[in-house]
A and B are shown apart, each in its own frame.
Chain A
Amino acid sequence: MMSAFLATIAAAVAPWMPHLVVVPVVLPLVAAALLLVIGEGRRGWLVAGSLTATATTLAVAIALVAWVDAKGATPAIAVYLPANWDVPFGIVLVADRLSALMLAVTAGVAVCALVFAVARWQRAGVYFHPLFQLQVMGINGAFLTADLFNLFVFVEVMLTASYALLLHGSGRSRVQASLHYIAINLVASALFLLGVAMIYGISGTLGMADVAQKLPAIPAHDRGLLYAGAALLGIALLTKAAVWPLNFWLVPAYSVAAAPVAAIFVLLTKVGFYAILRLWTLFLAPHGDSAARFGADALVLGGLATIAIAAVVMIVSRNVRRLAALAAMMSTGTLVAVLGFGSAELLGGALYYLLGSTLAVATLFLLADLVERARERGTDATADEDIAEPPPFSFDGRGVTGHVNLDDEEAALIGRPIPIALAFLGLTFIVCVLLIAGVPPLAGFLAKFTMLAALVGRDGDAVSLLRWAVVVVMIASSLVALLVLVRTGARYFWAPQGRAAPRLAVIECLPIGGLVAAVVWITVAAGPMLRYTTVAAEHVLDASEYVQAVARTRAVPSPTHDSRPGGGAVR
C-alpha cells in the first residue's frame, strides 16, 4: 500500500522534475523574506506563513523521496542547474536518494519544532520565524548542492541562522554559549575555506562531480596536496559534526538553546556527517595498494572516541537537555565510526539509524522543555542541577522524606490515577529511551542490530580488531545510555514528591506525538526503509553514477537565441 502511494506521488510530480529540486531552497528563502515584511506585530500571519512554508517543504521533500524511490534499484538522480549554465561552470543542485532522505528528515523535524515553538517559544524574542526559515534553507541547501563553494555558502547560511537562533530567548547563559559557539565555528569555517582553496588549486574546478572526475589525473607528487586539502575540509566538517576532539562546543550550546531551536540543531550535526560522507566518497577513491579510502581509520577512531566520551559524560549528567545533547553526540559518533568502514550494508543500517536517532533526540529536546517546566512548577528549580544534586547512583534518601509509600501503606497508592499529562510525558520519554539506547522493539534496536550484524559479518569471515572495537563500544554505550536515561526517567516521573501535575498545551503535545508516531511508523516500515537506505548507501559509496548524472546534464537551450556566455561555447 505504501509503495503504491509513493508510486502515485512519483508519477504525479514527474512532470515537474527536476525543477522541484530547487524548491526546498527557494521556498524557505522567499518565506523568510515575506515573514520579515509581515513584521513581528501580526503574529497570526507569521505563524500561518511559517507553518505553510515548512509544511510545503515537507510535502516537496516527500515527493522527492517518492520520485527517487520510484526507479527501484536503478540510480535516480535529479540534477538541476539553477542558473542554466553548463555543468562545469554553474552551480548544480543534485537530489539523489541520500539527499532526498535527509531533506525529508529535516522537514519533518522542522514542522514539529515549529508547531512546538508556536505554543510559547516564538514569543521569547524577535524574528524567530524568518530565522527559522533561513535555518531550514541553509540545511536543505547543504544537502542538495553539488558545488564545493556553494556548500560553504549554504553551511554559512545555516550557521549564521543558528548563531541568531541560539541567542533566541537571550539570557546570560545563552549569550556566553553563543560566543564560544560562534568563535569555534568561525575558525572551522576558515579551515573549510582553506580546504576548498587547496582543492581548487589542485583540480581547477569547484563542482564536486567535476573534481571527482579530474582527481584521477592528478600527478602522484600532487596527491599530498590533495590529501592536505581533504584533511582540512575534513577537520572543518568533523567540527560541525561534533566528533571528538572537536566536540566540546556541542553540549554547552545545545543544552542552553530554546527547545525548538535545539531540536532543529540536531540536524546541524547531521549536515556535517552528510558532507563528510559525500565528499569522502567523491574525492578520495581508494588509491594505490590500500583498499580503504584516505582517512578511513581516523573516521572510525574519532567516531569511537566520540561515542565513548559521550557515554562517560552521560553518567555524570542529570539534566535532561544535557543528556539529549550527549545523545545527539553519540548518534553522530556512531554514524561517523560506521562510515569509516565504507561498506554499503553497514552504511545502509547507519542511515536507518540516522532516521530513528535524529527523530528521537529531537523529541527528547522538546520533551526536556516540558519536563523541566513541570518540575519548576512543583519545586524550587535549581539553576544547575548537575552541581546542586547529589552525585549519581547515591541513594541518600533525597526526596524520600515525608509521606513516602515504601511498603506499609501500599494500599493508599493503588488506584490513584496518574495524571494524563504525566502519563503522556512518561510514555514518550520511554519511547525516546528505547530508541536512543537501541532496545527492542523500536527502530533504534533494528538499526543497531543491522549495523552489528554487518560489522561481524557472516560465518567464517575474519573480523578485524577495529570492527570488534566498534561492536564493543556500541553495545557498551547502549547499556550506559539505557541506565542513565532510565535513572533520569525514574527520578522525573516516579519520584514521589507530591508536586502538582504538569499542565501541557495540546499544541505542545501535538509535535511530540507526531515525532513519536513517525518513529513508530519507521519501525513498522523497517523493511522498505532499510531497502531504501541500503540502495542509497550503495549509490553514495559508488559515486560514478552521481558523477555521470551531473556530467551529462546540459543547459536548457534558450528559446530565442544561443548567445549566452556559457551555453554557446560549450558543446
Chain B
Amino acid sequence: MEILLSIAIGVLGACGVWLVLRPRTFQVLMGLSLLSYAVNLFLFSMGSLSIGHEPIVAPGRTADLAHYTDPMVQALVLTAIVIGFATTALFLVVLLALRGLSDSDHVDGEADPS
C-alpha cells in the first residue's frame, strides 16, 4: 500500500509539474489541480495508512492508532481540498478573462506563434 501510494503521489506530482511549466493556460490549470491532488495524498499519508479503520472512537475499542486511523490528517485534507477548489475556480475565471482580453490561451497573452 505504501508503494502504491508513493507511486501515485510521484506520478501525479511529476505530471503536475510538467503541465504547470507548459505555455497554455488550461494546461497550467490542470497541472495545478494535479499538484494539489498529489499534495493532498501526501498529507493523507502523513497520518496513519490503514484499511478498514475509522477515525471515530467506538465504545469497547482502545483508542490508539492500531484500531483507528488518524482523524487529524483527514480534517487537514478536507480543508486543503476546499481551499484548493476555491483558488482553482478563481484561477479558471482569470484564465477565461485573459483569454477574452487577449484572444489567446498563452500564459503571457501572446498571439499564437504558429
Contact = CB atoms under 8 A, between A and B. Distances in A.
Interface of A: 149, 153, 156, 159-160, 163-164, 167, 170, 172, 175-176, 178-180, 182-183, 186-187, 189-190, 193-194, 196-198, 200-201, 206
Given A149-B79, A175-B98, A197 B32 contact: no
Interface string B77-104: 0011001101110110011011001100
Contacts of A187: 20, 32, 35
B54 interface: no
30 contacts: A149-B76, A149-B79, A156-B87, A159-B87, A160-B86, A160-B90, A163-B94, A167-B94, A167-B97, A170-B97, A172-B101, A175-B98, A176-B101, A176-B102, A178-B94, A179-B94, A179-B95, A182-B91, A182-B94, A183-B32, A183-B91, A186-B84, A190-B32, A190-B38, A194-B42, A197-B43, A197-B76, A200-B46, A200-B76, A206-B72
A156 B36 CA distance: 14
Contacts of A178: 94
What bracket does the count of chain B residues touching chain A fall in? Answer: 20 to 34
Contacts of B90: 160, 163-164, 182
B108 A190 contact: no
Contacts of B98: 172, 175-176, 179
Contacts of B10: none
A187 B38 CA distance: 12
Choose among A164, A172, A180, A186 the residue with the greatest number of B CB atoms under 10 Å from its CB: A186
Interface in B25-79: 25, 28, 32, 35-36, 38-39, 42-43, 46, 72-73, 76, 79
Nearest to A193: B39
Nearest to A180: B107
List the 5 shortest-distance A-B pairs measured between CB atoms, nearest first.
Answer: A201-B46, A197-B43, A197-B46, A172-B101, A190-B39
B108 A176 contact: yes
B80 A193 contact: yes
A200 B91 contact: no
Contacts of B36: 186, 190
Instruction: Give the one of B46, B91, B108 with max A CB within 10 A.
Output: B46
B103 to A, nearest CB: 11
A405 B42 CA distance: 70
Given A156-B83, A179-B107, A197-B73, 4 more contacts: A175-B98, A183-B91, A193-B43, A194-B42
B52 to A, nearest CB: 22
Contact of A197 (B25, B42, B87): B42
A201 B83 CA distance: 21
A183 B31 CA distance: 10
Contacts of B91: 179, 182-183, 186
Nearest to A184: B20
A164 B87 CA distance: 10
Contact of B101 (A159, A175, A190): A175
Contacts of B97: 167, 170, 175
